[in-house]
Amino acid sequence: MKITSFKIVIFVIFSGLSTSCSDFLAEKPHSSLAILTELEDYQAILNNETRLNSNYPFAGDYASDYYYLSDEDFLSRDETGRNNYVWGSEPVHQNNWTQAYGKVYDTNVILASIDDAELGNMTEQDRRNIKGAAYFFRGFTFYHLAQLYAPPYHRAHTAGLQGIPLRLSPDINVPSTRATLEETYARILDDLKAAAFLLRERPRIKTQPSKVAAYAALSRVYLTMQYYEEAAKYADSALVLQSELIDYNTLDPLSAQPQFPVLNDEVIFHAVSGNFSNILTNNAARVDTALYRKYENNDLRKTLFFRDNQNGVVGFYGNYDGSPVASLFFGLATDELYLTRAECNARLGNIEKAIADLNTLLENRYLKGTYAKREYQNAENLLASILEEREKELAFRSGIRWPDLRRLNLDPRFEKTLFRNIGDQVYTLAPNSERYTFKIPYEVIELGGIEQNP
C-alpha cells in the first residue's frame, strides 16, 4: 500500500513531548498532528537532537558513587533530587521516564510506516538507515530505562522478575503492560541487532547511529547481562570498525578550552543525559576523594579530568560532550570498548588479550615515557585491576557506573556499600538493595494501572 493512500497521525501525548518537538513538527507547534509522506520527513524526526540525543535518564548517575555534595549544595536542590541522591523510597524525577518514552514514541512512529514511505530525493539505502536508526534509539533507550526501573539482570535468576513496559506502537490507545525481565532484554537485543543489520558502518555525523554504535551498545548490554563471550565479540566487532584512542599527551591540562571537543575521535555515538536538579554540575558535584586518590601523579587523567575549583574542592572537567558545564556525555566511545573487551577476556581466561587491551588504553593515558606495561600472572588480580581502571576511566560517563554497580554487586568479590553524609546523618545503600531499582512515577501507575516496584 502506498503511503499516499493513508495518513500517519503523530499525536503529542504529553507535555514532555510537546515542549521539545522535532524541527519537522515544530513548523506547527500548536497542531496535534503532522503528516509523514516521504523519507525526508522520517529523517527529520531523527535529526532532532533535542529529542533523540539529549535528556537521557539521569537518576542512576545522581545515585552513583563517583561524587558527593556539600550540605549546602544538597539543601539547595529540589526535594526530588535530594531524595534521589540519598537513595530514598520516593520515585525519582518523572523526566527520567517521560523523556525516555518520548524517544520510544518517536521511533515507533518511524517503524510503523517507514516501509511505505515515498523515496522523494532519497534512496532505499537511506530507508534502511532510517529504519536501523529507529531500532537503535528504541533499543538503547529501553536498555537505560531497564537500568532504572527493572531489577538487575542476574543470569539464571530472572524467573518471575518484571521488566519495563515495551511500547512497540505509536498508537496511544494500546495499553501499557510490564514485560518480564527476560522479555525486556530480549527486545533490547532484538532492536540493537536489527539496527546493526540495517545501519551503515560509520555515521555521516556522530549524533546519528551506525553499525559500530549498534555493536558497541550490544557489547554494553551483554556485559550487563554477564554474557561475557557475546560482550567481547561485539566489542571486537565495534573496534574493528573504529578503534581510535586519544593520546592524552597531546592535550593541554592548562587550556581554558574544553579538553575533549564534542564528537572527538573516541566518540562513536553522541548523546547527553538530563540534569534536572543541576546536581552533576562541576561546581556542585565534588569528586569522591577515594576515587581521586586512585589516580597516580603521572596519570594524565588526574589533571585532564579534574581541577581544583575556587571553593577548594575538586570538580570534573573531562566531559566528552565538549563542554565542562553541560550535561554529561551519555553516548558510546572506544575507551569503554577496550575496557569491556579486557574485562570479558579476563573473565574468560584469555589473559594475554585482556592485558593487551588494558595496556593499549593506559599507554594513551599516562605521561609519555612513564608508563610501564603491566603484567599479571593471576587472573583475579588482572580482573580487579581492569575494574578499577573502568571506574577511573568512565567516572562521570553518564549511564555506565550505575549499571556497573548493579551487576558487580551480584558478585561478593566486588560488592560495595555506598555512603552519603548530610550533616550528622549517614545514608547507606547496601549491595543488592531494592533501592537499586527505582519506583515508577506515581502518575504512570495511576494512569496505567501497572504494578509498582517495591
**pLDDT band at 443, cuts 50/70/90?**
very high
Determine the pLDDT at residue 255: 87
Confidence of residue 27 (pLDDT cuts 50, 70, 90): very low
Q: Report residue 326's pLDDT band, with 50, 70 and 90 as the boundaries.
A: low
In this prediction the pTM is: 0.93
Per-residue pLDDT, averaged over 395-400, amounts to 98
Q: Quick one: which H or E segment has residue 6?
A: none
What confidence score (pLDDT) does residue 256 get? 84
pLDDT of 374: 95
pLDDT tens for 50-70 read 999 999 999 999 999 999 999
Percent of the chain with pLDDT over 90: 86
pLDDT 10s digits, 108-123: 999 999 999 999 999 9
**Residue 101 banded pLDDT, cuts 50, 70, 90:** very high
Is pLDDT of 45 > 80? yes
Q: Domain extents for the chain? A: 3-250+330-448
pLDDT of residue 19: 35
What pLDDT shows up at residue 34? Answer: 59
In this predicted structure, the answer to whether residue 26 has a pLDDT above a threshold of 60 is no
The model's confidence at residue 20, banded by pLDDT at 50, 70 and 90, is very low
- Evaluate if residue 221 carries a pLDDT over 80: yes
Q: Average pLDDT of the chain?
A: 92
pLDDT of residue 311: 74
Residue 1, pLDDT above cutoff 60? no
Q: What is the CATH number of domain 3-250+330-448?
A: 1.25.40.390
The predicted structure's pLDDT at residue 122: 97
Region 425-448 average pLDDT: 96
